[in-house]
Structure 1
Amino acid sequence: MKLILRADDLGISEGVNYGILKAIQDGVISCVGLMPNMESAKHGYQLIKDLDICLGQHTNICLGKPVCSPDLIPSLVNENGEFYSSHDINHRQEDTINILECELEIEAQLQRFIEITGQKPEYFEGHAVFSRNYLQALENVAARHHLFYDNPMDQQWQKQYRIQSLDFFAFDESGLYDPYQYFESQLSNIQRNECSLVVFHPGYLDQYILEHSSYTLIRPMECEFLCSQWLKDWLKHHHIEVASFRDYQ
């Protein structure tokens, strides 16, 4: 039995960067996704660059400014030249994202990733947007550059790579959940699968996150849980091996 523990949002803010660093050094995170367009992306990479971690691109088209000139990607940006929010995109009745424009921005973020890290991402996926056009653009760019495309919501992808995504968390009215109870509830799924995948958003809070993210209190809570002795003992007791996308390429 194997389990991939993925941390998203490296680069979204300095506070999150420090929390992800702790979740790698003192916890069990095996894969980290960098958001190349964000102002704190370089800061985040510098913190974790010497650690043995599988580093991917967490492509972002719903927060902050694009890497491309806004004039080239009008379907992705508002009148201020900033991305539309994920809430706005995901609640549209019609998918108005232009695939070719989206590919331009994804390509630009890939080049920014390479500029920051000196290497191609070890896996490739997207942040917070469920548009079919966006996912198609991600898949197209990944294929063009021979990148490992991570799409755990796609059953065909799960079958191809023999990686099963665990159930989504059930949030309470505070936007939190009980991670200990969650892992206990997912044990039978983990034992049944060759490899399972679960995604976290560890981090510390700063003003940017409080103003720009719906994920707030969940971040330090997950950071503490991922570093807990309980989780390390639980994985060992159930003979669950921590894996990464490197094992499936």
Structure 2
Amino acid sequence: MKLIVQSDDFGMTKAVSLGCIEAIKNGIVRNTGMFTNMPDIDECFELIKPYLEQIALGIDLNITTGTSVLSHEFIPSLTKENGDYYTSKENRAMDNEENHFDHLKECRDQVYAEFKAQIEKYIEIVGHKPDYIHNHAYWTPTIEEVTLSLAKEYGVLSTMRMHSIEEVKESSMGWYVYGDAQKQLQSTPLEYITNDTDCLLDSEYGYIVSHCGYVDIRLFELSSFNTCRVNDLAAMINSKMKQWIKNNHIELITFKDLPEEWI
């Protein structure tokens, strides 16, 4: 089996970024997506530069965490007056039966503009288009439509396509325990993956999305998805995980290794 192991949210905070790098340097992660709207992203990119040859560096398109790339006047439906996005919780509260659980449909052009600005910021920082496109945290039909449109425009694979590709089996991320910081520490990614709970080994391509990271104060300010990241990191660098990869003759690959026709 060829296996894509992805760690999301690179650049969200310095601690998360360092955790992603540790999972690349000493673990099995070969793909990570970058937040281009975060204030420390230039510094974080410098830290990951030595590893770019061995990974795919994608982009995590985001309209729920941190401050927008475009100013509030251009995307007033997506941000508060201070430029911060509405959180995932706040966005979901605006979705209802009346708008078919997609309040963003009425501001589709703003979603497109902000996502495109994030991609252009990636190109400005990295020097080329993203190796793949992923979405962060919050989904609506409008987000999917805009993302797939931009993926086609830039000629880049969107991870939204992965579940519809016959050769790919995607992990359900069923190891996460949701709740407060203490509850999240009960997650068991190592056991879940090495027991092949999702039967990935039966597929030609497997796809695992993780969230490796260390924890800092800024992470707690930005995300309720926090302490589980240290468990993901511990699993991805664990010798038992590496032995599972070896014993099952798994080839770790990046999005750059996938067939071009999948785009």
Normalising TM by the smaller chain, what interval?
over 0.9
Partner of 2:114, secondary structure, is helix
Q: How many residues align?
A: 245
Task: Give the deviation of 1:209 after TM superposition.
Answer: 0.6
Give the letter for the 1:221 counterpart: N
Matched, 1:163 2:172: no
8 A Cα contact 1:27 1:228, kept in partner? yes
8 A Cα contact 1:89 1:131, kept in partner? no
Q: Once superposed, which parts of structure 1, at least 4 consecutive aligned residues long, lie more than 6 Å away?
A: none
Deviations 1:77-121 (A, max 9, x none): 123321110122234213111221111001110111011111110
Alignment partners' CA distance in 2, 1:76 and 1:236: 46
> Which residue is equivalent to 1:201?
211
8 A Cα contact 1:2 1:194, kept in partner? yes
Alignment partners' CA distance in 2, 1:165 and 1:2: 12
Give the letter for the 1:95 counterpart: D
Task: Give the deviation of 1:60 after TM superposition.
Answer: 1.1
- Quote the sequence identity (%): 28
Alignment partners' CA distance in 2, 1:34 and 1:202: 13
Deviations 1:124-168 (A, max 9, x none): 12111111111111111111121121115x643x33xx3221123
Alignment partners' CA distance in 1, 2:195 and 2:123: 39
Matched, 1:69 2:71: yes
8 A Cα contact 2:220 2:226, kept in partner? yes
Deviations 1:203-224 (A, max 9, x none): 1111101222112211112111
Matched, 1:189 2:199: yes
8 A Cα contact 1:8 1:199, kept in partner? yes
Matched, 1:129 2:129: no
Give the letter for the 1:202 counterpart: C
Task: Give the deviation of 1:170 after TM superposition.
Answer: 4.1
> Which residue is equivalent to 1:80?
82
> Which residue is equivalent to 1:227?
237
Matched, 1:239 2:249: yes
Answer with 25-34 or 164-173: which moved more.
Answer: 164-173
Matched, 1:111 2:116: no
Alignment partners' CA distance in 2, 1:30 and 1:219: 17
Answer with 65-74 or 109-118: which moved more.
Answer: 65-74
Task: Give the deviation of 1:241 after TM superposition.
Answer: 1.4
* TM-score when normalising by structure 2: 0.88
Deviations 1:2-48 (A, max 9, x none): 11100111110011111111110000101010011111211221111
Distance 1:188 1:136, change over 3 A: closer
- Give 1:24-43 correspondences, 5 Å limit: 24-43=24-43
> Which residue is equivalent to 1:20?
20
> Which residue is equivalent to 2:227?
217
> Which residue is equivalent to 1:148?
157
Partner of 2:50, secondary structure, is coil
8 A Cα contact 2:37 2:118, kept in partner? yes
5+ residue gaps, structure 1, are none
5+ residue gaps, structure 2, are none
8 A Cα contact 1:90 1:131, kept in partner? no
Give the letter for the 2:127 counterpart: G
Give the letter for the 1:168 counterpart: M
Alignment partners' CA distance in 1, 2:23 and 2:223: 20
- Give 1:166-181 correspondences, 5 Å limit: 166-172=171-177, 174-175=183-184, 176-181=186-191
Task: Give the deviation of 1:245 after TM superposition.
Answer: 1.0
8 A Cα contact 1:166 1:186, kept in partner? no
Task: Give the deviation of 1:227 after TM superposition.
Answer: 0.7
